[in-house]
């Protein structure tokens, strides 16, 4: 982060002292490192890919700036330039780490416009687009593969209309910015609002739209300060994949999504320091604000880390804020079950079902937990309800285990067979099928069943 900040500020302010640029870069890097909005990406093991993709993303930008400084002027030069090649390889590593890196080609084009100022004439512009073709091709491929992989999880426009999505996006853009400057209300779950509860007449959506329009007008009036336009457009581009045009999941925003987009608000801090170089009074005031903000960030970061201590503390925090979120009770129940607190887990699953009686995952989880403590009849009732709506191998396998627990091995075998018919490679059903056969003395059949594992 420090190296990238230094290179960018050097391009923008090459006539200033190196010491001031180093200090400005350090300010950006320190705030980036301690800001509480970044805790989720670091503390949540599943989101360590954020760190990996961000590392290679920033590395690609660094190599691209070095390529620019080597004064490439034609496509053959680009393809043989070591900095260009390193930039492209870093981009590939980034996009393989997390598909959110698809935005990088657009960000590089934005940098070509400003601060690199490479668009000088039509011929030069064509060359700049040509050298991005490899980047765009892999971004397109990654985007297509990601959409195909998420196809079943994408919420249709019949459930959340485009009008609703645009209003929620406008609110998200404003909320993200507020969370950078006022990180007092951060949470691991920002629940997507019910579509019927989203309207332009509601204050939170109206004020968000007005705020964005004011920013756009402000940028038009200050268009000679291209760095402001660049940062705003970068903010939009870097967040675009997760803003909800293609909505996946129950959240409308997440702290982890701001890991790199936060730079749109942190780079101006370095610029402000450079601007105040010959204004000692303003500089002292700025230093005081930065120190105060750093202390607040450290305290908030410490608190956020404790929220992510384990699944129970995480969902406790969420349910304190959002007591009606049924997914929260189900997920806390999962964490309690892993710790062996089966009765508390059952209580949480029951709360989730009370809030949403069609929440099949909670029924399934409660059924498995009943099995753990030998309450097979209650487990059977739950899994029967689930299987009325959906037949999956894991559901059938669970009912087979329940029947086996009740001593009804024939019915258990029927369920294992059905599970294997749907998915012949489903190992738990095959293993349990063989065990059930052994229990009723059909050892030869059990051996044949187990041979299917090999």
The pair of three-digit structure tokens given for residue 35, joined into one six-digit string = 């800001």
Residue 12 has pLDDT above 70, yes or no: no
How many helices, marked H, and strands, marked E, lie in the chain? Answer: 23, 2
What is the percentage of the chain residues whose pLDDT exceeds 70? 96
Residue 20 has pLDDT above 50, yes or no: yes
Q: Which residues contact 314 (CB under 8 A, 6 or more apart)?
A: 188, 307, 308, 335
Residue 447 confidence class, pLDDT cut points 50, 70, 90? confident
pLDDT score for 182: 95
In this prediction, residues 429-442 reach a mean pLDDT of 90
In this prediction, residues 214-240 reach a mean pLDDT of 94
pLDDT score for 452: 62
Residue 412 has pLDDT above 80, yes or no: yes
Q: DSSP character for 116? A: S
Closest C-alpha to 332, from 188, 150, 152, 153: 188
Q: Which residues contact 302 (CB under 8 A, 6 or more apart)?
A: none
Closest C-alpha to 103, from 302, 297, 303, 243: 243
pLDDT digits (tens, 9 = 90+) for 143-183: 999 988 887 788 888 889 999 999 999 999 999 999 999 99
DSSP string, 350-402: HHHHHH-TT-HHHHHHHHHHHHHTT-HHHHHHHHHHHHHH---HHHHHHHHHH
Residue 396 confidence class, pLDDT cut points 50, 70, 90? very high
Beta bridge partners of 191: 251
pLDDT digits (tens, 9 = 90+) for 189-200: 999 999 999 999
Distance CA 148, CA 157 (A): 17
Closest C-alpha to 60, from 113, 139, 177, 147: 139
Going from the N-terminus, what domains does the chain have, and what CATH number goes with each? 2-307 (no CATH), 310-390 (1.25.40.10), 391-454 (1.25.40.10)
Closest C-alpha to 178, from 197, 204, 202: 204
pLDDT digits (tens, 9 = 90+) for 290-346: 999 999 999 999 999 999 988 999 999 999 988 889 999 999 999 999 999 999 999
pLDDT score for 233: 97
Asked whether 205 and 171 are in contact (CB, 8 A), the reply is yes
pTM, rounded to two decimals: 0.88
Distance CA 81, CA 83 (A): 6
Q: Is 25 helix (H, G, I), strand (E, B) or coil?
A: helix
In this prediction, residues 2-23 reach a mean pLDDT of 79
Query: Helix 133-149 and helix 122-131: axis angle, to 10°?
Result: 50
Asked whether 65 and 14 are in contact (CB, 8 A), the reply is no
Phi/psi for 161 (5° steps) reads -65, 160
Distance CA 186, CA 179 (A): 7
Omega before 115 cis (within 30°)?
Answer: yes
Asked whether 450 and 423 are in contact (CB, 8 A), the reply is no
Phi/psi for 251 (5° steps) reads -100, 150
Could you tell me the end-to-end alpha-carbon distance of the chain, in angstroms, rounded to an integer?
Answer: 50
pLDDT digits (tens, 9 = 90+) for 58-107: 999 999 999 988 875 555 567 778 999 999 999 999 999 999 999 999 99
In this prediction, residues 23-33 reach a mean pLDDT of 94
Q: Which residues contact 296 (CB under 8 A, 6 or more apart)?
A: 183
Distance CA 143, CA 241 (A): 9
Q: Which residue has the higher pLDDT, 2 or 347?
A: 347
In this prediction, residues 52-59 reach a mean pLDDT of 96
* E strand map for 21-131: none
Residue 204 has pLDDT above 90, yes or no: yes
Phi/psi for 324 (5° steps) reads -95, 10
Distance CA 142, CA 33 (A): 29
Asked whether 34 and 294 are in contact (CB, 8 A), the reply is yes
Residue 184 has pLDDT above 60, yes or no: yes
Distance CA 208, CA 167 (A): 8
Distance CA 94, CA 100 (A): 9
Q: Is 421 helix (H, G, I), strand (E, B) or coil?
A: helix
In this prediction, residues 422-431 reach a mean pLDDT of 90
pLDDT score for 297: 96
Closest C-alpha to 246, from 315, 339, 143: 143
Residue 15 has pLDDT above 70, yes or no: no
pLDDT score for 3: 84
In this prediction, residues 202-227 reach a mean pLDDT of 94
pLDDT score for 277: 73
Indicate the helix (H) or strand (E) that contains 251.
strand 251-253
pLDDT score for 454: 47
Closest C-alpha to 169, from 102, 241, 103: 241
Residue 13 confidence class, pLDDT cut points 50, 70, 90? low
Q: Which residues contact 174 (CB under 8 A, 6 or more apart)?
A: 207, 208, 211, 212
User: In which residue are the tokens 């890097």 written?
Assistant: 29
Indicate the helix (H) or strand (E) that contains 434.
helix 427-439
Q: Which residue has the higher pLDDT, 249 or 231?
A: 231
pLDDT score for 77: 67
Q: Which residues contact 270 (CB under 8 A, 6 or more apart)?
A: 5, 9, 24, 25, 27, 28
């Amino acid at each position: 982060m420090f190296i990238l900040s230094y290179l960018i500020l050097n391009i923008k302010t090459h006539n200033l002292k190196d010491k001031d640029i180093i200090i400005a870069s350090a300010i950006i890097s320190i705030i980036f490192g301690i800001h509480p909005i970044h805790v989720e990406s670091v503390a949540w093991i599943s989101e360590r890919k954020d760190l990996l993709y961000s590392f290679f993303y920033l590395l690609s930008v660094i190599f691209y700036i070095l390529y620019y400084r080597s004064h490439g002027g034609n496509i053959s030069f680009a393809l043989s330039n070591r900095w260009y090649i390193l930039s492209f390889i870093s981009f590939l590593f980034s996009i393989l780490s997390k598909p959110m890196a698809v935005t990088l080609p657009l960000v590089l084009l934005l940098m070509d416009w400003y601060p690199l100022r490479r668009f000088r004439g039509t011929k030069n512009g064509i060359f700049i687009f040509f050298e991005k073709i490899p980047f765009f091709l892999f971004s397109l491929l990654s985007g297509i593969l990601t959409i195909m992989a998420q196809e079943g999880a994408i919420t249709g426009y019949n459930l959340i209309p485009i009008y609703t999505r645009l209003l929620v996006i406008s609110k998200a853009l404003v909320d993200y910015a507020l969370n950078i400057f006022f990180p007092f209300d951060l949470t691991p779950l920002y629940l997507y609002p019910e579509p019927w509860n989203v309207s332009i007449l509601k204050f939170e959506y109206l004020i968000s739209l007005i705020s964005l329009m004011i920013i756009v007008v402000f940028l038009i009036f200050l268009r000679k300060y291209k760095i402001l336009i660049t940062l705003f457009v970068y903010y939009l581009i870097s967040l675009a994949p997760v803003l909800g045009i293609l909505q996946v999941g129950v959240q409308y925003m997440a702290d982890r999504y701001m890991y790199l987009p936060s730079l749109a608000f942190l780079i101006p801090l370095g610029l402000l320091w450079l601007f105040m170089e010959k204004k000692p009074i303003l500089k002292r005031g700025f230093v005081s604000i930065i120190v105060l903000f750093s202390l607040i960030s450290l305290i908030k970061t410490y608190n956020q880390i404790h929220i992510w201590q384990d699944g129970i503390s995480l969902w406790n925090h969420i349910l304190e804020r959002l007591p009606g979120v049924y997914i929260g009770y189900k997920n806390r129940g999962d964490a309690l079950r892993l710790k062996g607190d089966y009765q508390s887990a059952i209580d949480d699953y029951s709360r989730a079902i009370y809030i949403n009686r069609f929440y099949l995952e909670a029924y399934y989880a409660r059924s498995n937990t009943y099995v753990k403590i030998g309450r097979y009849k209650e487990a059977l009732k739950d899994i029967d309800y689930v299987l009325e709506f959906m037949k999956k191998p894991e559901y059938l396998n669970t009912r087979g285990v329940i029947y086996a627990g009740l001593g009804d091995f024939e019915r258990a075998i029927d369920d294992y067979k059905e599970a294997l018919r749907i998915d012949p490679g489903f190992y738990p059903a095959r293993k349990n099928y063989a065990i059930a056969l052994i229990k009723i003395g059909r050892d030869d059949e059990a051996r044949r069943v187990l041979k299917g594992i090999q």
